[in-house]
Every structure is written in structure tokens, then in C-alpha cells.
Amino acid sequence: MTSKSNQRQVCARCAEIKQACDGSSPCSRCLRLSLPCVAKGRGHHVVANDAVLNGRKPKAKVTRVHTGCFTCKQRRKKCDEVKPKCADCRRLNLLCNWPTQLGHRRSTLRGDTLTSSSSSRVSKRDLPSDVQTPTVLVPGHDELQRQHWISEYNYGINVEDLPNDMEFQDWTDPSILSPIMLLDDTDSTTSPSGSDLSLVLPTPLPDLASCEDRALFNHFLHVVAPILSRCGTNGANPYLKNLLPLADENEIVLNSILALSAKHWRKCMPQLAARGTIHQSRATQSLAVLLPQVDRTAADIALASSLVLCMTELFDGVSTSWKFHLTGAKRLLDALQTQKRRKGTTSLHRFLVRLYHFLDSATTTSTCRPPIVKENQGQNVMTSPELQNQTGPSEVHQSDNDAEDFAVYGLPKPLFHLVDRVNTTAYERRHRIDEASDSEFRQQAAKVEELIGSWSYEYGGVSQAVSKLCSGDPDAYNAVTAFEWALRLRLHQIVDGYGLDNMIVVDAVNGIIESTQKIRYGSPLESCILFPLVMAGGACSSLEHRLIIQDRLMVMERTCGFGYLYNARELVERVWKRRAQSAPDAIVNWARIRFEEMDGLVIF
């Protein structure tokens, strides 16, 4: 039986409304609501004047204000009206916007039209909330449109924690963003006059209670996206700039991003792989539902999701499902170009087209076929006179295009797409049946070899091309040199076979080894040298070269982290093992081993 000393004192008011009482006299609730605090006796009797609580029971004072901050009104919370930032907004680290500023905002931006990335939005059920994304104020014609829900929780992600290359200012381009991604200026006294949009403080993405999903999104923001962008911190990350706004509005894109993030963590944190599989399944099912609508709208959302899912399979290094995603994205690309003719092109559209052609070319080494869509066919819509009139002169966007090309490709774009020509030559081997066809085949190969040596002439040489197209990255020249040697070696193998006694093979292996050793560990361009390292690993014969290649691949497994890097090292180790078990003059074909035993591996 509980002793009287252990019984808590409860006031009559708290007991009546069945709320916890702190036992003080007066208690905090009665003190805050200006109510008489009367102790409740045993047997539910009031130890005081009952008339105080019966008949003339005072009501709590409720002060209804109409001048509180907009954030508290949105959250349906009482605002203490402390300026410049009320207590709740200060405690929860939220934006604090006041009606006066809102009116100024409405008058400043009235009449502006914003182009959403798509008119069809996929509903959101399970969005991550540990990464802070902008909360917005969007003026409508007569009243504000529906506001982005502001989370009450701060998951510890501050502005200082965000990557340096995440430039929120670029998100305010109305051609690529939906209205909810616009940023509101909370302090008109500190902002420059005439500025409409500025970053004050990002707030978490809403509607997510799963710690795993928050961790996956945070991992994408801080780790995966910087790895995908091959320009380091020298410029804006196009993956963050273009995919995050879509993920904030569309569950299908968000699930694709979370699946990609989980795939990157598959080796070191396999417990999250199951969660990533769930998101991948959700994204695939949502994409199947969205596909019948892409001819009319939402082609950009479907294409973005399809490309992210394609990368998820590519970077896994085991699955062959990337072939279906890449083939299906061809139809989405056509639908996107049709919609661009009607509505005009945006930087998001250009990024999606650029990413598609990068993945399309990267997979040709594994398919030994021409790319699904040629580069000039994919770019013809964006270079049409009508779209140039809408987007401005091409010179204005040339530097931005070069920077985004470098972020996606990591190498000069003209050089990277020479892999298309090399693998198209490999595809033509099927017509090599007699001396006449062999002679014609060698002539085509000679033209490709000439292109490998002359691609940089229009820029004034390799150094000038690297300086112009690669933002002057110190590792870019060595990566370009290694890639050139890899293309020459691959072309030689296609034409003359996989023997090791030719001087071209020796020179190419030495050139690749020398160039890759000059690229620092952890460089953003480190993922660009996987193709050269595999080519050198499949053709090297000395133990010294094998150890150098093996060491670099093992380092890349930690710095880049995706599963296809582990499988690439396993491929070259299988080649070395087969060569050691075979006769001295036996030819070991690394491409056949990859095709027969590791069909899902893509080397790029």
C-alpha cells in the first residue's frame, strides 16, 4: 500500500481535466492560465471553498492573437509575438516570418508566374526529414498557396553541416523548381533591397518518422552526391541542384534516391540494404503507374527516377536490370523532348539529357554495342533556334554547360564519347568474315584511332582542352592521359586480339600506370580511372604493375564505395589467376570472363 508521504499532491483543476500536476502551490498550469489552484483532498473532495470551483468556475484565459508570426499560424501554435524571432521558432530552429513582411513579399512578387517541374505530382507518404530543405512562402493570385509543412523537429543538421558545393541560390531558378522550393527572406532589414529570394535557414524534409530513411537521405546529401559529382567542391553539384527539388515534391524520385544511397552503403552497412530494397520496389511500382502519363506530362519526373534507378543497378555491379531502365529511359527521353518543344527547356531537362547520354555511353564497354541514342540526336532539340530564343544565346550558357559536363563526366565530353566509337567498332566485328570485310573493318578502326589522337586539336591541344573543359583540375590532365591510353588499348584488343606481346599493349599499360599514380588518393576524378585500371589490369604481366593496380582499386573501394568497384577488382584478379593457371602462350580474354561470369558489371 502506498504511504501518504509518497502520494503526489494534485490540484483540483488538473484532476478534473485529467492532466499531470507538478504538485506546486500554485501549480504551473494554474499559474500560467491565471486560475485558482486548490488542492484536491482524498476521496475526490476539494480542500478549499467549493464555490471557487463549482458554479462560478473561472475559465482559462485564452488570448487569440492575429499578429503572430506566420510559422506559428501554419503550425497552429500560439505565438508569443517576440520579434524578430518568437520563442517557438527560436526553440525549434524554424523560419520566423511576420505578416508585415508577408505583405511586402506579396506586393513584391505579385503577378510572377512560376513554372513547376511537372504538373503531375506523385503523392508522398514516407519522406526523410533529417536533411534540411528550404521552407517557402509562395504568393498566389489572391492568397498564398498551400505551404510546405514545417517539421517541429530539428534532426541536428545545421547550415554549416551542408556541403560547400550545395548552392541553394541556384534552386530559385523558376524554370526548374516547383513553387514550394522558393525561399523567403525573414529579415528585410538585412537583405539587399530588391532581392526576392534568399536563403535564411533550411528546414527538414517533412513526413518521415523512420530513422533509417533519414540516415539514407543524409548519406545521399553528404556522401553519395559528392561522389557522383566529379568536379569536387569547385562548382555546384548538379545532382543536388536538380534532384533534391524533385525529391522534395515527388515520392518516386525520393524513393529512387534512398535506394541509391542504400546501395552505396551495401558493403559497410548491409543492415540498410533491406530498407533500400523497399524504396527501390516502391520507386519501380510508382514508375510503372506513372508511365502511361508521360506522353502528356511528368516526363521529367519519370526520367529522373528511371535514371537514378539505372544508376542504382549500375553501381551495384551484379544486377543486369540497368539494361531495362536504360532502354525504357529512351522513350521517356523522347517524351521529354516533345514536352520541351511545347513548354521550353530548363536546366533540369538539360541535366537529365546529359546524364542519360553519360550512362548510355558508359555501358557500351559492357554491351559492345553502339549507344542507344547518339549524342547529336539527344541534343538537337536543345540547340534548335526556337529554344535558343527562349533560353538566350548559347554563349551565355556555355561556361555553365562546360562546368556541368565536367561534374557529370569528369573528363572532357568529346573524349569520353569516343568510347562510343570504339565499342561501335567492336559491334562491327560480326561483319568481319573475309579479307575484304577485314580490310574495311581495319580502315574504320584506323579512323577511330585517329580521332583518339586528334580530339583535342580544336581546343589547341590536350592541355588547353583540359583547362577549358575541366575547370583546371590538377588531376584532370593525368585522368585524360590514362583514358586515352585505355581507349587505344581497347581498340587494339578489338582489332588484333588480347595478346600481351605487342608494343602497343606494353606502352598503353605503362602509360596508364604512370598517369594513374599521379592522381591523388581520394580525388573526385578517381572514379574516372576505373576503366583505364581494368584495361591495364587485363593486359599487364608484371607483378609490380599488378600490385599497383590492386592497391589503387582497393583504395577506390573505400573512397568511392560502390559495389561495382569491388567486382572490378575481382574481375582483374580472376584474369590474373586464369593466366597463372594457363600455358605461357595462352590468351586470357578479360571481356569474355566479364560477359560469361560477371554480366552485370559495367566498367566506366
Parse the chain into domains and list their residue ranges: 4-53, 99-409, 430-597
Higher pLDDT, 473 or 61: 473
Higher pLDDT, 524 or 120: 524
Instruction: Report pLDDT for 57.
Output: 59
Amino acid (1-letter code) at residue 71:
T
Instruction: Report pLDDT for 298.
Output: 84
Cα 283 to Cα 126, 206, 314: the distances in Å are 12, 19, 16
* pTM summary value: 0.66
pLDDT above 70: residue 138: no
Instruction: Report pLDDT for 345.
Output: 74
pLDDT in tens, 512-537: 999 999 999 999 999 999 999 999 99
Which top CATH class is 4-53? few secondary structures
| Residue 209's pLDDT band (cuts 50, 70, 90) | low
For residues 114-129, give the mean pLDDT. Answer: 38
Instruction: Report pLDDT for 60.
Output: 58
Q: What share of the chain is helix, strand, coil (3-state, %, to 5)?
A: 60, 0, 40
155-159, 495-499, 502-506 — which is least confidently predicted?
155-159
Instruction: Report pLDDT for 263.
Output: 94
Instruction: Report pLDDT for 257.
Output: 95
pLDDT above 70: residue 598: yes
pLDDT above 90: residue 149: no
Instruction: Report pLDDT for 104.
Output: 39
| Residue 7's pLDDT band (cuts 50, 70, 90) | low
Higher pLDDT, 511 or 157: 511
Higher pLDDT, 310 or 47: 310
Instruction: Report pLDDT for 128.
Output: 39
pLDDT above 80: residue 485: yes
pLDDT above 80: residue 355: yes
The dihedrals phi and psi of 7, each to the nearest 5 degrees, come to -75, 135
Among residues 361, 362, 338, 359, the alpha carbon closest in space to that of 349 is found at 338
Quick check: helix, strand or coil at residue 177? coil
User: Do 553 and 566 meet the contact criterion of CB atoms below 8 Å apart?
Assistant: no
| Residue 395's pLDDT band (cuts 50, 70, 90) | very low
Among residues 482, 599, 484, 238, the alpha carbon closest in space to that of 246 is found at 238
Instruction: Report pLDDT for 188.
Output: 35
Q: How far apart are CA 321 and CA 312, in angstroms?
A: 10
Instruction: Report pLDDT for 337.
Output: 83
For residues 276-284, give the mean pLDDT. Answer: 93
28-32, 60-64, 275-279, 488-492 — which is least confidently predicted?
60-64
| Residue 208's pLDDT band (cuts 50, 70, 90) | low
378-387, 555-564, 593-602 — which is least confidently predicted?
378-387
For 133, the enclosing helix (H) or strand (E) is strand 132-133
pLDDT above 50: residue 305: yes
Greatest C-alpha distance within the chain: 116
Instruction: Name the residue with cell 550558357.
Output: 397
For residues 561-579, give the mean pLDDT. Answer: 95
| Residue 399's pLDDT band (cuts 50, 70, 90) | low
| For helices 476-496 and 503-517, angle between their N-to-C axes, nearest 10 degrees | 160
Q: How far apart are CA 197 and CA 184, in angstroms?
A: 6
Higher pLDDT, 581 or 271: 581
pLDDT above 60: residue 89: yes
pLDDT above 80: residue 494: yes
Residue 325: all three cell numbers together: 531502365
The dihedrals phi and psi of 386, each to the nearest 5 degrees, come to -65, -45
Residue 231: all three cell numbers together: 568536379
pLDDT above 90: residue 49: no
Angle 477-553-588 (CA atoms, 0-180°, nearest 5)? Answer: 100
87-91, 148-152, 312-316, 572-576 — which is least confidently predicted?
148-152
For residues 254-277, give the mean pLDDT. Answer: 90
Instruction: Report pLDDT for 58.
Output: 61
CB-based contacts of 359-362 (< 8 A; 24+ apart in sequence): 359/307, 359/310, 359/311, 359/314, 359/326, 360/326, 361/416, 361/417, 361/419, 361/420, 361/604, 362/314, 362/419, 362/602, 362/604
CB burial readout 209-236, b (16+ within 10 A) else e: eeebbbbbbbbbbeebbbbbbbbbebbb
Instruction: Name the residue with cell 524513393.
Output: 255
Whether omega for the bond prior to residue 84 falls within 30 degrees of 0, making it cis, is yes
Q: How far apart are CA 604 and CA 535, in angstroms?
A: 11
127-136, 206-215, 219-228 — which is least confidently predicted?
127-136
Angle 79-84-88 (CA atoms, 0-180°, nearest 5)? Answer: 35
pLDDT above 80: residue 254: yes
